[in-house]
Structure 1
Amino acid sequence: MAENSDTSTVGRVAAVLRTLGEDDRNSELSGAEIARRVGRERSQISRMLKALAAHGLVEQNPETRGYRLGWQLHVLAARAGDQRLVGSGTAVLRAVVAETGESALLSILQGDQSFTILRERSPHTVQAGGWVGRTSPLHVSASGRALILDHEDDDIRALLTREPPGTFGPKALRSVAEVIERLHHERREGCTVAVDELEAGLLSVAAPVRDATGRIIAALNVSGPTSRTAERLGELSATAKVAARRLSTILSRGPVL
C-alpha cells in the first residue's frame, strides 16, 4: 500500500522546504519553529535538516542557528519551469507594482489548483500575503479563474469536483454553477475579479497570459487589501489586462537567436 504523501519521507521533506520558502523575505526559522509549523517531532526535523544541509538544500546560520533555503536549491530552481515566462514576467510584474503600488503575482495551472511562481511586493506596509510556491483553489481566486477562462463548462465541472463549504472569504462562490456563471461574465470582460472570496479583506484582479497560439499559460494578478483597492477596481483591472497582453506579446516573439 502506497504511503500518504503527507507521511512519506518525500512528503515531509517537501513540507520543510515549503515552510522555509513561505516568507519571500528569506528570514530564518529555528528547527523548533519548523517542527511546529509542519507538525512533527523536533528530533525528527533536526535530523532531516542536517541531511538537507549536507546536500546544500538548506543552510544554517552559525551565529543564530536558524535555517534558510540553501544555494543549491536556488540553483535547481533556476533551471525549473519556463524560464522565459519567469524572466519576462519579473520585469512586467515590477512595472505593475511601480504603476499601482500593489502586489503583483504570476500563477500557472497545476492540476486543479492555481500555483504562484512569481511575486513582486507592494511598498505598502499593509499588503497582500506572500504566496510564492503556494496553491489556491481555482473557484475563489482571481488567478484561478483567469487560468480556466477559456475552459468549456464541462471541463470546468470536471476540474471542480469538490464544492468546498464556506471556509474561505465571506463572498466565496459556493457551487460549480456559480463559478460557471461568473466565468461567462468574466470571459466577456477579459479579466477576473475576486473581492473577499479567497479571504476576507483581500481584493484581486487577474488577466490571462497567452502563448503564440493563444493558449492560456499563466495568469497575471494584482492584489491588495479591499479597504485600499475597492475604489480602484477599474484601474487595477485595466492595468492587469494591459500587463498580461504585454507579457503575452513578449512570449509570442520567440527566443532571440
Structure 2
Amino acid sequence: MPDRLATALAVVRAVADRPDPLLPVAVGALAQELGLTTSSASRVSAALAGVGLLDHAEGYGAYRLGRRAATMSGRAGAAVASAVDFALTRLSAATGETVCLVAPAPGGPRVIAVVPSGWTLHVRVRVGDLCAGPGDAAVRVLQDESCRDVERSAADERDQIAVGVRDQGGEVVAALVVHVPAIRTERVLPVAGRVLLAARSNLEAAIVRAPAQHAPSDGRAVRVAAGRASLSLAAAVLEDVCEGGSEVPEIARRLGVRPERVERVLGDAENAGLVRLAGGGGTVTPRWYLHGWHRAVTAAVLTQQVAPLVTAAAQESRTTAYVTVRRGIRSVTVAEAFAEGPLSTQSWLGRPAQMVGADGGALLIMDLDDDQIVAVLPARTSLTAQRTPRDLDSFLQQVRRARLDDRLVLDGYAEDGLTSVAAPVRDASGAVVAAACLVGPTHLIGRELTSTRAVADRLARGVSDLLAAPTG
C-alpha cells in the first residue's frame, strides 16, 4: 500500500496545486510531470476518481479535482476561515495592495488565500501560485524559525512584506504577505508593517481558540470501494483528520480499523506534506497547505460555472440575477443574466461597489463580527444612491438582520421602483463567499415576493453545491 498511496497522493497534489484545479488535465501530462508511465498514471487516476478525490473531466483520459478533496480542504480550514478572512480584509483595507496567505507545501510554499488589489497597476497573485524565490520574504519567514519580525524582499519591480503565523506549538504554519509594486513600497511599508503584526496577533489568537470538529465522525466505519481498499481507507483517514486534530487510536476507533493501518496512511500523508504528526503519538493535524484547494475551486466555479444557474434564475423570476463576491471591502459582480421584458437594469459585471450600497453587501460581510466590520469599513459612507445606509451603524443593522434571516430583502435600496432579494452562497468551509441576488421592479417583486425569495434561495443553494458547501 505505501508505494501506491504515495503515488496516488502525488497525483492528487499535481491536480490540486493549480490556480484552476477544475481545468481538465490529461493522464499523459500527469505521467510526464510525476515521472510515471502513462498506464500507471491512468490506473491511479481512475482509482482516485473511484473514491472521489478526482473526477472525470471532459476529454478522454482527463481528470480534475474531485468533490471529496474540495470538501476535505474546506473542513481543514473551517475553524480559522473567518479569522483568515478578517486578517486579509484588514490588510487589504489598510494597504490597498494585493494581500495573501502562504503556507509550506510540497515543492515550495504556495498561496492558499488572496485578496487582489483594486489598483490598476498591481501585483497579480492567485491561489495555488508557487512562491519559488529563495529570497522572497514569504519564504524566509516560513523557513527561518528565528524570523519573528516583519521581513521585506524585492524582485522584478515588486516587493514583498511578510510576517510568519505560528500555531499553539510555535511552528510557523503560514505567512501573511503584502505584494506591492516597487514604486509604492516606501509609502505602503509603514502601514503594512504595523497592520501585519496586528493581523498576525489576531490570527494566532484564533488558532488557539479553534474548536475540534469531530462529533459527526464517531461510530462510522470506512466504506471500502471494491478493489480500492487502500485508497478508500486513505481518503477516510484524511477526512477524519481534516475534521479536527486527533490521535491515531481515536481515528482508528472512529473508522473501525486497526491503528497500524492508520499509522501507515498517515506516514505517507505526512511525507506528502498533507498532515503533521506530533511526536510521541500526539495529535495529528492537517497542514494549512490543504486550505488552498477549496479556495481555488471556489474561484474557478464562481467565474466559470455559474452562468447557467444565473440565467435560469433570471428567467424564472423575471428579474436580473447577479452573483456578487467580496474583494476586500468592495462588492464585485462576477456573473449576471437579464430577463426578457420591457424593463431592465444596468450591467454590473466586473464593477466594484461599496459594501454598504451593494444589494448583497450585508450578506457578504456577515461572517465577520460587528467589531471586525467596524475595523475594516469606513465610518462614513458615500451616498451613491438614495437609501444607502448613511453610516456604519445603519449598515450594521442590515448585517444583523441578514444574520438572523439568512437572506436580505431591500426595497428601493438604490432608486425608486427597485427591489433586491439576496441569499448567501457558501463554500466548502461553510463560509459565505458570494451572494445570489435578484433585482427587479418593486411592483413585480412585491406581488411575487415569496416565489422570488424561493428562486434566490435555490440559486444560492445551487452555487453552494458546486462549491461543495456543507449541507444543512
Per the TM superposition, whether the score is higher than 0.5 is: yes
2:408 equivalent to 1:192: yes
Structure-2 residue corresponding to 1:201: 417
Identify unmatched segments of 5+ residues in structure 1.
1-9, 13-80
SS of 1:173 mapped into structure 2:
coil
Of 194-203 and 131-140, more deviation after overlay is shown by 194-203
Structure-1 residue corresponding to 2:453: 237
- 1:133, CA displacement in angstroms? 1.2
Structure-2 residue corresponding to 1:125: 342
Q: Using the alignment, how far apart are the partners of 1:166 and 1:217 within structure 2? A: 25
From the CA coordinates, give the structure whose radius of gyration is larger: 2
SS of 2:449 mapped into structure 1:
helix
- CA 158–232 in structure 1, closer or farther in 2 if over 3 Å, else same: farther
Q: Using the alignment, how far apart are the partners of 2:326 and 2:332 within structure 1? A: 6
Structure-2 residue corresponding to 1:181: 397
- 1:166, CA displacement in angstroms? 4.0
Match of 1:137 among 354, 361, 374: 354
Structure 1 segments, 4+ long, off by >4 Å, are: none
The alignment's TM-score, normalised by the length of structure 1, stands at 0.62
**Identity across aligned pairs (percent)?**
27
Q: Using the alignment, how far apart are the partners of 1:181 and 1:197 within structure 2? A: 14
Counterpart residue identity of residue 235, structure 1: S
Structure-1 residue corresponding to 2:320: 103
Q: Using the alignment, how far apart are the partners of 1:164 and 1:247 within structure 2? A: 30
- CA 83–166 in structure 1, closer or farther in 2 if over 3 Å, else same: closer
Structure-2 residue corresponding to 1:3: none
Q: Using the alignment, how far apart are the partners of 2:384 and 2:303 within structure 1? A: 32
RMSD: 2.6
Q: Using the alignment, how far apart are the partners of 2:418 and 2:368 within structure 1? A: 25
Q: Using the alignment, how far apart are the partners of 1:120 and 1:90 within structure 2? A: 8
SS of 1:203 mapped into structure 2:
strand
Q: Using the alignment, how far apart are the partners of 2:410 and 2:336 within structure 1? A: 18
Match of 2:310 among 93, 97, 101: 93
Check the 8 A contact 1:143/1:206 in 2, yes or no.
yes
- CA 113–121 in structure 1, closer or farther in 2 if over 3 Å, else same: same
SS of 1:142 mapped into structure 2:
coil
Check the 8 A contact 1:141/1:204 in 2, yes or no.
no
Q: Using the alignment, how far apart are the partners of 1:179 and 1:199 within structure 2? A: 17
- 1:119, CA displacement in angstroms? 0.7
Structure-2 residue corresponding to 1:149: 366
Counterpart residue identity of residue 126, structure 1: L
- CA 214–202 in structure 1, closer or farther in 2 if over 3 Å, else same: same
Q: Using the alignment, how far apart are the partners of 1:168 and 1:131 within structure 2? A: 15
2:449 equivalent to 1:216: no
Structure-2 residue corresponding to 1:116: 333
Q: How does 1:20-39 map to 2 (within 5 A)?
A: none
- 1:230, CA displacement in angstroms? 2.5
Structure-2 residue corresponding to 1:250: 466
The alignment's TM-score, normalised by the length of structure 2, stands at 0.35
- Figure out how many residues of one structure are paired with residues of the other and give that number: 178
